[in-house]
């Protein structure tokens, strides 16, 4: 992937992983646009990094995604990198039922949002021979029982990204998948397990950029690569280990 001279949109870029990547891309001289739902966080990011362009948008709202796509095409016609990063992770107890709308909210944000945004921006991305980066997770390979909907969305994103890459190959569009391991962010607490190696956002960015420089299409930093390997050679064992490690995180009600 060409890492300089790009016009980049990063969804969910006001904090965490998204903001860490936004800062790195800015350092390399790119034009960077970030979105987020929290205006205060967007304002804070813009204050700390004045070259950032911020747009308030909700990845889970179809109307907001459509408006975002229109604004980008109107005001940023050189857009050539779409970095689908926005996402939420919620620990859930499926045995208690729960509100159906709340249960599918992760699907709306983590899966439907990126699919809608790709559809809305595909013309400009193709015209600019651009790059799409979809953030899934190492948990796309082995689910964490405490986060059943989140893991399902990431498995679906992995499958979708493979098909997207295949269909856009003849259009000169590069499609990359980033599959982070456990990262220290505000997304959700990770299992209290000595076997889980949590990395920082800076470490994730460093590992990812090294892979981008090598032209990797599927990037599995740290333990994400181990999860993929174990899902193939010992699927029942690794699924059982993650189930045990995350059981205490399941809400009681």
Query: What pLDDT score was predicted for residue 198?
Result: 87
First to last CA, the chain: 46
Is 70 exceeded by the pLDDT of residue 194?
Answer: no
pLDDT beyond 70 at 114 = yes
Whether residue 34 is contained in a domain is answered as yes
% of the chain with per-residue pLDDT over 70 = 96
CATH (domain of 52): 3.40.50.720
pLDDT(217) > 70: yes
Quote the number of domains for the chain: 1
Domain presence at residue 1: no
Looking at residue 245, what is its pLDDT? 87
C-alpha Rg value of the chain to the nearest Å: 18
> In the structure, what pLDDT confidence band is assigned to residue 253 with cuts at 50, 70 and 90?
confident
pTM of the model: 0.94
Compute the distance between CA of residue 208 and CA of residue 165 in angstroms, rounded to an integer: 18
150 in catalytic set: yes
What are the C-alpha distances in Å from 247 to residues 121, 132, 144, 185? 40, 35, 9, 21
> Can you give the residue range of the structural domain that contains 194?
7-249
Cα–Cα distance measured from residue 42 to residue 52, given in angstroms and rounded to the nearest whole number: 10
Predicted local confidence at residue 195, as pLDDT: 63
Q: Count CA within 13 A, CB hemisphere, residue 59.
A: 27
**87 pLDDT higher than 90:** yes
Is residue 137 assigned to a domain?
yes
pLDDT in the model for residue 197? 81
Mind listing the pLDDT tens digit for each residue in 129-152?
999 999 999 999 999 999 999 999
Q: Average pLDDT of the chain?
A: 94
The one catalytic residue in 150, 157, 178, 181 is 150
pLDDT of residue 37: 96
Q: Is there a domain that residue 2 lies in?
A: no
Residue 188 falls inside a structural domain: yes
Please give the angle made by the CA atoms of 6, 89 and 249, to the nearest 5 degrees: 145
Q: What are the two backbone dihedrals, phi and then psi, of residue 201, each rounded to the nearest 5 degrees?
A: -65, -35
């Amino acid at each position: 992937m060409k890492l300089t001279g790009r016009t980049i949109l990063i969804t969910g870029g006001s904090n965490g992983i998204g903001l860490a990547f936004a800062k790195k891309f800015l350092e390399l001289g790119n034009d960077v646009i970030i979105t987020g739902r929290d205006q205060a966080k967007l304002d804070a990011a813009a204050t700390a990094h004045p070259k950032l362009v911020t747009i308030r948008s909700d990845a889970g709202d179809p109307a907001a995604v459509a408006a975002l796509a229109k604004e980008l095409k109107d005001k940023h016609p050189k857009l050539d990198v779409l970095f689908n990063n926005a996402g939420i992770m919620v620990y859930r107890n499926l045995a208690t039922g729960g509100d159906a709308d709340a249960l599918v909210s992760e699907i709306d944000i983590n899966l439907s949002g990126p699919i809608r945004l790709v559809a809305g921006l595909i013309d400009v991305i193709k015209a600019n021979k651009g790059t799409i980066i979809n953030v899934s997770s190492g948990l796309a390979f082995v689910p964490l029982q405490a986060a059943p909907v989140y893991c399902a969305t990431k498995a679906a994103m992995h499958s979708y990204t493979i098909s997207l890459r295949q269909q856009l190959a003849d259009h000169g569009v590069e499609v990359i998948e980033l599959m982070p391991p456990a990262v220290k962010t505000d997304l959700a607490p990770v299992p209290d397990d000595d076997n889980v190696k949590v990395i920082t956002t800076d470490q994730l960015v460093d590992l990812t950029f090294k892979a981008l420089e090598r032209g990797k299409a599927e990037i599995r930093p740290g333990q994400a690569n181990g999860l993929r390997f174990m899902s193939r050679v010992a699927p029942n064992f690794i699924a059982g280990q993650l189930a045990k490690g995350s059981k205490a995180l399941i809400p009681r009600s």
